[in-house]
Each structure stands twice: as structure tokens, then as C-alpha cells.
Amino acid sequence: MDFDGAQYLVIGTFRKSGVRVDTPVWFAEDGDSLFVVSNNQAGKVKRLRNSPRCQIAPCTMLGKPTGPWHDSEAWLLQDEQEIKRAHRALKRKYGWQMLMLDTGAWIGGRIRQRSYIRIRRP
């Protein structure tokens, strides 16, 4: 699959006008899902509240796609067990980098401002 070995994923979420907005993100795979963590005030989170429609592709750190785009759907996680599953998958993949992100969010008081996103794997 296109995402095997990729460090970054570009997720294209859609404004109400239909315009796609692309954002490179960290992601982790677990079964038929890809998980992403984001600040709950980020534009992609706001756009996903309006519609689960998205497009995804593996990408570079700067968001340049390195593979084909795929139509998909994404949802904001609400269930505590699913959130823990997503966080474990991200920790497994990014290790000390995720630990640093968690530590910075905890120290800065932003740990409760997180949204976890589940993307249906194409």
C-alpha cells in the first residue's frame, strides 16, 4: 500500500465551498485505520466537523505528495478507548518524537486541546 514506510501523510479536507485544503501530518496505521492527532482548533478539525470527506496521499515533511491521492473519509474520535488506541499507534510509530510532543502539550497546557482523527484506509 502507498502508506507503508511513509512518515507523513497529506490530508486534504474540504471547505463548505468545495475547495480542498491540504495539510501534512504525522499518522499511524492500525488495522484498517490511519490515525492523526491535531489541535482541536485546527482548520482540518473544523472542516471534518462539517464533512468526513477527505483525500489523502503519502508525502514529504513539507506536504509534497509522493504517491497517488486516495478518496477517503475521516472522523473525529469521541470514544476514550479509540482515542487510547490512536495514541498508542502514534507512540509506537514516532517513539521519542511523540513523547516530546506529549510533554510539550502537557507543559504548555494544551494536552486537553487535542483531537484524534481516524481515517478510513483506502
Domain boundaries, the chain: 8-120
Per-residue pLDDT of the chain (122 residues; tens, 9 = 90+): 578 889 999 999 999 999 999 999 999 999 899 999 999 999 999 999 999 999 999 999 999 999 999 999 999 999 999 999 999 999 999 999 988 988 888 888 888 889 999 999 88
- pLDDT the model gives residue 102: 85
Cα distance between residue 115 and residue 113, in whole Å: 7
- pLDDT the model gives residue 20: 97
From edge to edge, which strands make up the β-sheet containing 33-39?
20-26, 8-14, 53-59, 70-76, 114-120, 33-39, 28-30
Q: Is the model's pTM score more than 0.95?
A: no
Using alpha carbons, list the distances in angstroms from residue 96 to 16, 45, 100: 37, 25, 6
CB 65 within 8 A of CB 49: no
- pLDDT the model gives residue 108: 86
- pLDDT the model gives residue 1: 55
Q: For domain 8-120, give its CATH number from 3.40.50.11060, 3.90.100.10, 1.10.3720.10, 2.30.110.10.
A: 2.30.110.10
